[in-house]
Structure 1
Amino acid sequence: MKTIDFQIDADGIARVGIDVPGRTINVFVPELLTDLASVVEAIRTRDDIRGAILTSAKASGFIAGADLKDFATAHDRRVSAQSARDMTLHASQIFRSLETSGKPVVAAINGLALGGGYELCLACHYRVLVDDPKAVVGLPEVTVGLLPGAGGTQRLPRLIGIERAIPLLLDGRHVGPVDALRMGLVDKVVARDLVYATAREWVLAHPAACQPWDVKGFKVPGGAGALAPHAAKTFGLGVAALRAATRDNYPAPGAIQSCVYEGTQLPLDAALRVEASYFGSLLAGSVARNLMRTLFFNKLAADKGVGRPGLPDEKVVKLGVLGAGMMGSGITYAAAVSGIDVVLLDANQAAAEQGKARCAALLAKEVAKGRRSEQAASDVLARITPSDAFASVADCDLVVEAVFENREIKADVIRKAEAVLPKSAVFASNTSTLPITGLAQHSMRPGQLIGIHFFSPVERMQLVEVIVGRDTSESTLARALGFIKQLRKTPIVVNDSPGFYTSRIFCAFVDEGMAMLAQGVAPALIENAARQAGMATGPLAVTDEVSLELQKQVIDQAIADGLPDRCLRQHAAPVVEKLTSMGRLGRKAGMGFYDYPQGAKKHLWNGLSALYPLLERQPSVEEVKRRLLYIQALEAARCIEEGVLTDAANADIGAVMGLGFPTWTGGTLSLIETIGLSTFVAECDGFALQFGERFQPSEWLRRRANANEPFFAQPA
């Protein structure tokens, strides 16, 4: 066998050492299932085998689950729900054959066991887990739009009860050894050198082992079905809460609840068929494809530095941050936590000290939550040096400016910083709108100037948008991406243009919300439809957060720069002008589209209906949802057409991780592919007739739709 080291000792105990070649950690590949089927047959039929112990021959863990490469392409390969059902049922039947072999089988879990790996453990009669915080167990399939398809939704509730199993299945969390033992997910937690011996002792002591659910008269702990004491809470209120949380955009959680409800009232063999059917429908659907492609494969590739010029790594040892406001202090915190020494510079020492104090407050929260020790927090804080003198950044490898979004101010700090920086240093601007090529005109070394656009709050937001100017060198790009990797954040790379990528998408979203408001669409309908579509927040609320005042400044700057009409946000500008003229500048001012009464919950401002009388006939929720999502997707396609983006994956990652675009879509371009290019173009044409040319697809996109040319490469 290629994937299993199968040995039988003198006492007739079979050691099943799983070792998938070419992988740092075991995953379920077809060869492993084939070999496992052979092993199970041997355990069942050979008289010289008294029992078996399943373990891993790799120190990295037991089994991490399925190989998602095949799963992620199933939808694009047009794998049917029936085929997907049959595939997972094949694995499920191997596991079932193992647990009904008539011989004791123990899982000696010497590392993490997730997904199908933990499902295999559940099919064993006893589970011994190594006492190592990295040795987590769990069923995380819901996070990639699937459900456990090899018995997880059926064995776990039968093992620990439906009430305790459902939350684990719905949030997909990983459980460490202490909690796993307490919750009954494993039977024993022991030191590493005792794992196999403990498993062996149990096998020898339990020659007639049998799963509890195969014993006549077995009942699910706590009950199953509509008459179970917990049924009203679990399957009544639980379904309502789930629909409120998912907005019916994510099919997997609902499928899990249904699967558990139906399956736990059936004999296990029938229940496994129910589970496989639900799994097949999910795998064949687009949501699982979208989640896996964007949040797993494409994000992982970005984290590893895909697209980085092939130059040697140069780590940032000392960082300069210019501007100690919320953004600057957030960048400082992220760098210091990553082990980088930071000089935090502001116009005066008091402002710089205040920026460091913000970092101290973030660290104090970490300590209070038990995520960091007092000493570790102290060590991080010691890496931060507040200053008001540009000379203090003289030995920095890289400088990030996070000053006010004004071209003159940024030009001034570029000149002052470059006057003292080493010739090899990189200068990065944290601008969200000002073109990098224009800023580089104020630099003595434009090849070493780049945009590094962080998102607020920096300590929580993982995305970083890297903007390559006309003169930015490959070595500068490589160093910027290396710096972001040091911060353990996810980069996307875009080419310079007004608004870059994320700001263009963001403006498309909020501007469409304002256009609908001016049109007479009810403000509550706009906001609720956005959330129902899966956006993190409504366009009016998020505009208040970033401030209407800032929106006015951006629009005024675009006019002053003589940008083309499409960049002037003409259908939103009158709304911004009207509200700012009334002093309604956003949340910081206590009023914008919303009112923010002290000590009370924010609410939409009642005066909006007087400013913008409501249409007598309001659009449907679905129409509003589509307008808000389609306008962003259309702008993303334009960014590909114009060369602002050269990689579709960056469009999806940037939208989902930076702007809260719904993860069920996979991102802006995945949404277009999910809808179908031809359908998307046709629906945008309809919107263009109703609402204006901003919805008009370009001839480039129209040709692409006619040729059925997707944005992502399709599997064979």
Structure 2
Amino acid sequence: MPESTPPSGPIRWHRGADDIVTLTLDDPGQSHNTMNAAFIDALTAAADRLEAERDTLTGVIVTSAKKTFFAGGDLHDLLAAGPEDAQRVFDTGMRVKRALRRIETLGRPVVAALNGSALGGGLEIALACHHRVALDRPDIRFGLPEVTLGLLPGGGGVVRTVRLLGIVDALSRVLLEGRRHRPAAARELGLVHEVVDTPDALLARARAFIAAHPDARQPWDVSGHRIPGGTPAGPALMAVLPALPATLAKRTGGAPYPAPRNILAAAVEGAQVGFETAEIIEARYFTELVVGQTAKNMIQAFFFDLKAVNSGAARPKDVGEHPAARVAVLGAGLMGAGIAYVCASAGLDVVLKDVTPEAAARGKVYSADLLASAVAAGRTTGAERDAVLARITPTAEVADLAGCDVVIEAVFEDPGLKQKVFQEVQAVVAPDALLCTNTSTLPIGQLAEAVQRRRDFIGLHFFWPADRRTLVEIVKGADTGPEALARAIDLVRRLGKTPIVVNDSRGFFTSHVIGRFLKEALIMLAEGVDPVSLEQAARQAGYPTPALALLDELSLTLPRKIWDEVAAAAEAEGETWEPGPAEAVLDRMLNEFRRSGRGAGAGFYEYEDGRRGGLWPGLRTHFARPGVTVPFADIQERLLFAEALDAVQLLEDGVLTSVADANVGSLLGIGFPGWTGGVLQYVNGYAGGPAGFTARARELRDRYGDRFEPPALLVTTAERGATFTD
């Protein structure tokens, strides 16, 4: 007879008249199913009951009542686990593995009916089933993204993907990059077996498999099973595996990311032993990561902080929605063209204005080229391409901006020019249009002097290339109203971007902090530090682009121009500005050696046909001094501390108002190393916490200068034994 359990726990049991048990994952206390203590208890109880009733069962279907099949591990629990909890973490992980192993060796067919995304622990549950049927929906993804949080799959994901796909494919296509696959791609890879169009078909196909495969077993439980591609002892892999650690080191730049190393080790070691022993190996490597600091940093930043920012935490709560419809983008250069593309792709009508029709048309070609590549790669269709392009209207006429309810100015970083274009359009666009300036350094208050409605004026700092970079820094001026802030946040979220909110100041947050990074690198070059050591230290600290290479990309004239503007502003306020060693290095590079960066074909690096070669040998001739010995660790920490100390100062000054914004902005905007969890989480996670960070800052101050003096906010935070949190 049909039998169901009451809907009280995270796994509901229903046994139908056909003796198929449906296990429905449905945590009553959460919007998503997670691998928390209650779920683990329920999973163990389900395994017990299935074994007890095995002889009378036909099969098992595992599905979910949530929109998402299963969201993965409970990150609150993982974040709280310290080194003293290692045995508990290991035991809990093994309890999950054993419950899943008991279900997959039940002797009855078990099917995962995947009605939503299965990521991390969700896919691990599915992989423990003999057959996986997935619903084909645009938002559904499958994968094991734990590496992006400094972890590895702890529920048998490494063990099963290696046995399913082979070591090389499991590592390269699933584990080491944490890719999230659409249903069709997951089927092609082998993570799922079938893709269907409707929920009814999902369950129908699950039942059909059970009927056709009463003795279903996992491939690795069939006698004679061999891991695809062989084991590490086999001749095929013996030629490949020695190169994997070097490839991994190249990918991470030597930065302290333990998760990829542990994943590689668990995969290779686990492939040489039996299934149960491989799961123990996986559990040990998982435990090491969970109780370590890097995973805590990355979980805090890439999950909790990012979730807070993307949810619109900074949005004024009492302001209603005023959705954008028609956007005027002023300036059709690379930045303006990219912004126009992003807006049109989000379904907004765009008027792209430049000084001539030809310039505006070239801006639209930028979108056409991006869309042509997307069509060729199968990421979009010809109809979708045509629809996006139809939403972009290039023009040189101010009158064509009539009715636009959002203005995004994206002309050159010249205060006079920016003010001029706003004066030209403010009377033409909608009377309540949101007025946005895309600037990376210029004070919003200064630019707002050109507009009549300063409450509607705000900064939107996009990062280039706008079509690929996910961060937008929203800058509130002194007169910016809450309605403008709410509309700006809503717009950025509509564009699929991540909005951080900061207060007005020259350089705001991101440009100010990265300026400190670049300046510290130049100071070390002026001190005589070997440029090769300088760049290598930055790579091994985890920076995606070392300082001198980044300066070349930006062009050396840009920071020099910004510093000149800062000097002029200081002198206008009656302050004395003294150029330092960093400015002197740039002056020599620009004036004496005529090397201004990649665009000119010569900078700190050599270039051939636009491709970066090695460092310019003249750096050692003109700057490096053989007698100078700065410890490698000091070079790294001078770069990291320069940015973190500046961020603390900006938090103290009120430019930053959110720790989450600081962490997310530094990671997505300016390439602060991901393993740190961001500029302020780096302080929290430093050995000894803020107190240990303060002590180290004072060491650097005593050795290298007062710029490493800990700000008052850091000192008081350390003295209270607190951390930087929202």
TM-score interval for Structure 1 and Structure 2 normalised by the shorter chain: over 0.9
Is the contact made by 1:154 and 1:271 (CA closer than 8 Å) also made in structure 2?
yes
Map of 2:250 onto structure 1: 244
> What secondary structure is seen at the aligned counterpart in 2 of 1:562?
helix
Tell which deviates more after alignment, 258-267 or 669-678.
258-267
Residue number among 610, 629, 638 corresponding to 2:621 in the alignment = 610
Is the contact made by 1:430 and 1:454 (CA closer than 8 Å) also made in structure 2?
yes
Map of 2:296 onto structure 1: 289
Q: Deviations over 1:681-701 (max 9, x none)?
A: 222212212221111112332
| 1:708 counterpart = 2:708 | no
Map of 1:2 onto structure 2: 9
Matching residue's letter, 1:379: A
Is the contact made by 1:684 and 1:696 (CA closer than 8 Å) also made in structure 2?
yes
| 1:321 counterpart = 2:326 | no
Is the contact made by 2:31 and 2:66 (CA closer than 8 Å) also made in structure 1?
no
C-alpha distance 298-605 of structure 1, shift in aligned 2 (>3 A) = same
Q: Deviations over 1:287-330 (max 9, x none)?
A: 21222221222222212211101211111111112222111111
Tell which deviates more after alignment, 165-174 or 515-524.
165-174
Task: List alignment gaps of at least 5 residues for structure 1.
Answer: none
Is the contact made by 1:83 and 1:280 (CA closer than 8 Å) also made in structure 2?
no
Map of 2:5 onto structure 1: none
Could you tell me how far apart the structure 1 residues matched to 2:147 and 2:469 are?
22
Map of 1:622 onto structure 2: 633
Could you tell me how far apart the structure 2 residues matched to 1:459 and 1:599 are?
22
Tell which deviates more after alignment, 212-221 or 569-578.
212-221
| 1:652 counterpart = 2:663 | yes
> What secondary structure is seen at the aligned counterpart in 1 of 2:181?
coil
Could you tell me how far apart the structure 2 residues matched to 1:129 and 1:316 are?
36
TM-score scaled by structure 2?
0.92
Q: Deviations over 1:242-284 (max 9, x none)?
A: 1221224211111111112222322322222221111111111
Shift of 1:562: 1.9
Could you tell me how far apart the structure 2 residues matched to 1:54 and 1:700 are?
55
| 1:688 counterpart = 2:693 | no
Shift of 1:466: 0.8
Matching residue's letter, 1:696: E
Shift of 1:179: 4.1
Matching residue's letter, 2:276: D
Map of 2:4 onto structure 1: none
Shift of 1:569: 6.7
Shift of 1:359: 2.3
Shift of 1:544: 1.6
| 1:99 counterpart = 2:109 | no
Is the contact made by 1:153 and 1:256 (CA closer than 8 Å) also made in structure 2?
yes
> What secondary structure is seen at the aligned counterpart in 2 of 1:467?
strand
> What secondary structure is seen at the aligned counterpart in 1 of 2:492?
helix
Shift of 1:445: 1.9
| 1:35 counterpart = 2:46 | no
Is the contact made by 2:645 and 2:711 (CA closer than 8 Å) also made in structure 1?
no
Matching residue's letter, 2:698: D
Is the contact made by 1:324 and 1:345 (CA closer than 8 Å) also made in structure 2?
yes
| 1:127 counterpart = 2:138 | no
Shift of 1:23: 4.3
Tell which deviates more after alignment, 309-318 or 347-356.
347-356
Residue number among 187, 203, 207 corresponding to 1:196 in the alignment = 203
Give me the CA root mean square deviation: 2.4
> What secondary structure is seen at the aligned counterpart in 2 of 1:708?
coil
Map of 2:241 onto structure 1: 235
Map of 1:556 onto structure 2: 564
> What secondary structure is seen at the aligned counterpart in 2 of 1:62?
coil
Map of 2:673 onto structure 1: 662
Matching residue's letter, 1:333: Y
Provide the identity percentage.
Answer: 40
Could you tell me how far apart the structure 2 residues matched to 1:5 and 1:327 are?
52
Shift of 1:191: 5.2
| 1:66 counterpart = 2:73 | yes
Could you tell me how far apart the structure 2 residues matched to 1:706 and 1:294 are?
24
C-alpha distance 589-209 of structure 1, shift in aligned 2 (>3 A) = closer
Is the contact made by 1:126 and 1:186 (CA closer than 8 Å) also made in structure 2?
yes
Map of 2:3 onto structure 1: none
TM-score scaled by structure 1?
0.94
Residue number among 583, 586, 594 corresponding to 1:573 in the alignment = 583
| 1:113 counterpart = 2:118 | yes
Matching residue's letter, 1:570: G
Map of 1:590 onto structure 2: 601
Is the contact made by 2:454 and 2:479 (CA closer than 8 Å) also made in structure 1?
yes
> What secondary structure is seen at the aligned counterpart in 1 of 2:279?
helix
Is the contact made by 2:556 and 2:586 (CA closer than 8 Å) also made in structure 1?
yes
| 1:90 counterpart = 2:95 | yes
Shift of 1:506: 1.0
Shift of 1:424: 1.1
Shift of 1:72: 3.5
Residue number among 404, 407, 412 corresponding to 1:399 in the alignment = 407
Tell which deviates more after alignment, 542-551 or 579-588.
579-588
Matching residue's letter, 1:480: A
| 1:522 counterpart = 2:530 | yes
Could you tell me how far apart the structure 2 residues matched to 1:355 and 1:219 are?
55
Is the contact made by 2:570 and 2:576 (CA closer than 8 Å) also made in structure 1?
no
C-alpha distance 90-234 of structure 1, shift in aligned 2 (>3 A) = farther
Could you tell me how far apart the structure 2 residues matched to 1:197 and 1:462 are?
40
Is the contact made by 1:466 and 1:491 (CA closer than 8 Å) also made in structure 2?
yes
Matching residue's letter, 1:519: E
Is the contact made by 1:43 and 1:51 (CA closer than 8 Å) also made in structure 2?
no
Shift of 1:602: 3.1
| 1:426 counterpart = 2:430 | no
| 1:175 counterpart = 2:181 | yes
| 1:49 counterpart = 2:56 | yes
Superposed, 1:201-220 pairs within 5 Å as: 201-214=208-221, 219-220=226-227
> What secondary structure is seen at the aligned counterpart in 2 of 1:653?
helix
Shift of 1:650: 0.7
Shift of 1:214: 4.2
Map of 1:165 onto structure 2: 170
Shift of 1:88: 1.3
Could you tell me how far apart the structure 2 residues matched to 1:600 and 1:449 are?
40
| 1:512 counterpart = 2:523 | no
Could you tell me how far apart the structure 2 residues matched to 1:373 and 1:209 are?
40
Is the contact made by 1:319 and 1:399 (CA closer than 8 Å) also made in structure 2?
yes
Tell which deviates more after alignment, 469-478 or 603-612.
603-612
Shift of 1:390: 2.5
Could you tell me how far apart the structure 1 residues matched to 2:393 and 2:187 are?
45
Map of 1:17 onto structure 2: 24
Matching residue's letter, 1:465: E
Map of 1:138 onto structure 2: 143
